Amino acid sequence: MSGKKIHFVSLGCPKNRVDSEVMLGVARRAGYDHVPAPEDAEVIVVNTCGFIGEAKKESIDAIFEMAKLKDEGHLQKLVVAGCLSQRHPAEIADEMPEVDHILGSSDMLKLEQVLTGKADRMLVGNPADWVVRASDPRTISTPGGSAYVKIAEGCNRTCSFCVIPQLRGGQRSRPVEDVVAEVEQLVAAGVREVNLVSQDTIAYGRDLPADTRPALAELVRRVADVPGLHWARLFYLYPETITDELVELIAHHPRVVPYVDMPLQHAADGMLRRMRRGHGGERLRKLVTRLRKDIPDLTFRTAFIVGHPGETDEEFKDLVDFVTWAEFDRVGVFRYSDEENSRSAEMEGKVPARVASSRYRKLMSLQRRIAHKKNATLIGRELEVLVEGTSDEHEFVQMGRHRGQAPDIDGQVYLSGGEARPGEIRRVRVTQASDYDLVGELIDEGEADHAPTLTVDLPKKRISLRVLQTDGRTMAT
């Protein structure tokens, strides 16, 4: 390493990860090398999450933890960016004098001003001013030839518990051509899997002019048809009408994986009304039934909130019954927290924290049993696995993911019986299963000369980007 040294802590969701990767790209362009150990860095960037109480606490703790390195390490500049600083810039400025520069949720490119020494302390702008473009610098942090691609920014929904529109602005969809151009760049660099994300993916394109408005299915098809791409996956589909064309793509396109991530938030009619979700429990049952029927071998991931104001024992029972019936493959569970300026924060009927925690534990315990049962059915099956590299926990064990496992937020497949290179797609026979992870034996000879050559931007081991987790699995938003 010859340049100055920078370290990143990225908290929250995959959308935040993309923003962190843009800042990594900005830093590289400015002559900085990323270092995995924060004590070795001259500049540290904490990209914060401000979605829920736990995330805010984690962000604040990370800021104070990194600030100690001004006395104990080489740290010269501490930069705070993201949703928390967008939401509370004055408080951070007043209460955290250790922070040298404050960027908001759309100020990723301003990091270059910070690194060249030409920046004010307060750099928080309008959250609706920016959406990532194919021309922006970016350094991929996910290993093994996988990348997240953000197709839109912001949100136009009015869910009562959520303040994302205040933190990120209204919906801003990227043009199809720009998204495809980015995917082409990534594939040329060795990426084999792209994961399409936004705050409200099902609403993609609705903010664009009517005469040129693209459909989500059109975008997905264009992305999946990029030569050299192996898997394309969709995240954050709002539970409303999904077009037959999109369902057909997920079900039958050879490179669109049969994976649906759809945060449902609850299942009781009264709770869904209070949450302003625009639908009821029966509609959700019909939607789940349709997707299970029309998409063979579907992996269904969702998320729920427990302890929202007004949630009764009977409504929580409705949720438990729904999860029992649906047998989702993956579930993230949030304990509700009041968010300033949200409608839910003003509601009566607050649920005691101990009750919310009890409901959280019960729902997670139920889902853990479901997940284990589903994983057990894979024992003996042969699966395609995208090799990521060496396990974070076991340096002599390699790991990867099958198409039903998304990066960071789902489980792993631990590999035995041979050697594999990051970025390879290998045939694996599953031999063991746990609640979230699998063990499998390599049964093919590998891709030899046909495996991708990963560029410097595609790390064989994960760049250190910390993520907020609950119960050992990253929470979906």
Q: What are the binding residues?
A: 13, 49, 83, 155, 159, 162
**What is the C-alpha separation between 76 and 14, in angstroms, rounded?**
28
Phi-psi region at 380: left, alpha or beta (left = phi > 0; alpha = psi -120 to 50): left
Q: How far apart are CA 437 and CA 312, in angstroms?
A: 34
Helix or strand or coil: residue 150? strand
Report the candidate in 48, 135, 131 with the shortest Cα–Cα distance to residue 92: 48
**What residue type is 442 in one-letter code?**
L
φ, ψ of residue 431 in degrees (nearest 5): -115, -25
Using CB atoms within 10 A of its CB, is residue 352 exposed (0-12), middle (13-18) or buried (19+)? exposed
As annotated, the binding site for [4Fe-4S] cluster includes 13, 49, 83, 155, 159, 162
Contact in structure between 389 and 404 (CB atoms under 8 Å):
no
The three-state secondary structure class of 470 is strand
Cα angle: 318, vertex 321, 326; to 5 degrees: 120
End-to-end Cα, the chain, rounded Å: 37
91 close to 74: Cβ distance less than 8 angstroms? no
Give the gyration radius of the chain's Cα atoms: 22
- What does the buried/exposed string (b/e) look like for 270-301 if buried means 16 or more CB atoms within 10 Å of the residue's CB? bbbebbebebebebbeebbeebeeebeebbbb
Distance CA 92, CA 85 (A): 7
45-77: string of b/e by CB count within 10 Å (b at 16+)?
bbbbbbbbebbbebbbebbeebbebeeebbbeb
For residues 413 and 425, the answer to whether their CB atoms sit within 8 Å is: no
Dist. CA 202–CA 204, nearest whole Å: 6
What is the three-state SS of 7-47?
Answer: EEEECCCHHHHHHHHHHHHHHHHCCEEECCCHHHCCEEEEE
Decide if 351 contacts 308 (C-beta within 8 A).
yes
Residue with tokens 């990521």: 388
Burial of 117 (0-12, 13-18, 19+ CB in 10 A): exposed
Residue with tokens 């939607």: 287
